[in-house]
Structure 1
């Protein structure tokens, strides 16, 4: 629990584990070294390597390490794994760490101060630095079109009430789960992660958390954790440009439908515009756009194909509003350059 006089917290760290036998020990040890951490929940997700054996060893070595698995040892993906960890966490503050990443010393020192000085604070986010593990990993990262930045952070301090819109706009950077801690009570408002999204389920959930809660900036220049770039990174696995767009489009669709059901009308126009930009992205017809007229025709046809697959949007006033904006102005946000 919070203690005002020395800014200490009680934190549960949730670590989904898949094919990370080489790295998971350092991840767990970096979490246990933080004085605020009361438990580390390892959620082993049916790894093909010997990650389960290492997780069992870690749980046997320290009673603060709790090993969880899905029924029958199934592989259910990072969203389901983090959800299982969150449902079993016993501390009032939740934090996250990927099994191939690690915390730096003093990871939660500033979190404690911010939570204590801002009673309305629901969560804190920071910067995370990149560590290139091997040339193969960096090559795959670059080939996937991922951001070359050595630090993932927001480029400016943003007030909690403006954070969700800034993340949707995508022009001020972003933060990742390694850098986030939240009060457990946030889950009552945001809900858990989507388990039907195999990619970008973390981005979609962070957006929901930002929409429903007050997240405060912490250390935006000095990283509090390190994420590794290596040849097994799931997000940089080889995919075509169209597959990447489709994966992100599914995320936008999931977030849009959640906003509609939850009553967050203010975000629907911007998300709808993101979806239209994605559906009409030039990467979907690379090599076929011979001239401006053909490019416009291809964009219209791709938007029409997407609308046919989702006819409910034809009755949505935000679709027509976003379509007018898209066709009348040059979109500020280019989906193909979005590296999140």
Structure 2
């Protein structure tokens, strides 16, 4: 296994990009590092060009119209341009640790394994970023799963349907997947989602492909937390948070109706979608719709949406 394409979407990451690329360069397994620049307003494009000139592994691409299309479309373009048999992802403000690909070579000797994932830790780059992150993700220094898992257990675990507590989502930075598995199942990032497109992609990937946990008790990558992390800016259970969650679960709902996972999974996805759909309503219409939904299926009260949230 010596041909991994590392895909880095780049948008306003001039302060972090060089460290991110430097962390991927030393690996013999990494055939190429694909930078897809998404019309940054800082000096990111200039840095991308410099890195591509300095390192033969680094390749630079932009969207055909050189416009800004978001992380999903940017990663999709990276996959399209990749030439490796394996795909790995890295955010431009994050970096790999030296053990990043320790498990992959042995794991992928098994042709039934489509993807391997591991654990990621956080590094606080600013005090404000630290406070915002910890207010949303309490006591989360290591994003990982709680026990070794593979196959459908991963899919069900990500939906919270396993008998044991599965743990948190694994991060895209820790995933290595066969490109052929993405092509076979026509798996791409949903370009209509400006956030949560990674969660959407991972859940669908876990259903269609045979994923296996790798190193889950120590980090293989580091997530940089700073003032400009978009995902930590939104107050949990606020109207904006609920709207974005609705878009995520609506995407999964449409997908589940086409792909028909097991009944529990379809019901769970439908309830999550309905719960966050209700969260966008206000006043009496919201109360009436909620009561009707509870009568139809009381399990809706166990969804991720907090019905006790009173702001509108």
TM-score, normalised relative to structure 1: 0.82
Q: Secondary structure at the match of 2:31?
A: strand
Q: Per-residue deviation at 1:323?
A: 6.4
User: In the alignment, what sits opposite 1:248?
Assistant: 245
The superposition leaves residues 283-338 of structure 1 with CA deviations (integer Å, 9 ceiling, x where unpaired) of 977xx8xxxxx9xx84433587xxxxxxxxxxxxxxx8x9633x2x574443349x
Q: For 2:305 and 2:82, how far apart are their aligned partners in 1?
A: 36
Q: For 1:215 and 1:190, how far apart are their aligned partners in 2?
A: 16
CA contact (8 A) 1:128 1:152 kept: yes
- Pick from 251, 259, 262 the counterpart of residue 262 of structure 1: 259
- Pick from 132, 141, 144 the counterpart of residue 133 of structure 2: 141
CA contact (8 A) 1:273 1:323 kept: no
- Pick from 302, 305, 308 the counterpart of residue 335 of structure 1: 305
User: What RMSD in Å do the two structures reach over aligned CA positions?
Assistant: 2.4
Q: Per-residue deviation at 1:23?
A: 0.4
Q: For 2:254 and 2:219, how far apart are their aligned partners in 1?
A: 34
Q: Per-residue deviation at 1:76?
A: 0.3
Q: Secondary structure at the match of 1:268?
A: helix
Please tell me whether residue 93 in structure 1 is matched to residue 91 in structure 2: no
Runs of 4+ in 1 over 4 A off after TM superposition: none
CA contact (8 A) 1:151 1:223 kept: yes
Gaps of 5+ in 2: 308-312
- Pick from 213, 217, 222 the counterpart of residue 213 of structure 2: 217
Q: For 1:299 and 1:276, how far apart are their aligned partners in 2?
A: 14
User: In the alignment, what sits opposite 1:164?
Assistant: 155
TM-score, normalised relative to structure 2: 0.89
Q: Per-residue deviation at 1:96?
A: 0.2
User: In the alignment, what sits opposite 1:155?
Assistant: 146
The superposition leaves residues 271-293 of structure 1 with CA deviations (integer Å, 9 ceiling, x where unpaired) of 00112333445x977xx8xxxxx
User: In the alignment, what sits opposite 2:172?
Assistant: 177
- Pick from 188, 199, 202 the counterpart of residue 203 of structure 1: 199
- Pick from 22, 25, 31 the counterpart of residue 24 of structure 2: 31
Q: Per-residue deviation at 1:202?
A: 0.6
User: In the alignment, what sits opposite 1:309?
Assistant: none
Q: Secondary structure at the match of 1:335?
A: coil
Q: Which has the higher helix share?
A: 1
Q: Per-residue deviation at 1:168?
A: 1.2
Query: Structure 2 vs 1, CA of residues 59 and 249 (structure 1 numbering), >3 Å: closer, same or farther?
Result: same
- Pick from 119, 129, 133 the counterpart of residue 121 of structure 2: 129
- Pick from 272, 275, 292 the counterpart of residue 273 of structure 2: 275
Query: Structure 2 vs 1, CA of residues 303 and 242 (structure 1 numbering), >3 Å: closer, same or farther?
Result: farther
Query: Structure 2 vs 1, CA of residues 215 and 323 (structure 1 numbering), >3 Å: closer, same or farther?
Result: farther
Q: Secondary structure at the match of 1:109?
A: coil
CA contact (8 A) 1:186 1:209 kept: no
Q: Per-residue deviation at 1:127?
A: 0.2
Instruction: Count how many residue pairs are aligned between Structure 1 and Structure 2.
Output: 300
Q: For 2:138 and 2:291, how far apart are their aligned partners in 1?
A: 27
Q: Computing the radius of gyration over CA atoms, which structure comes out larger, 1 or 2?
A: 1
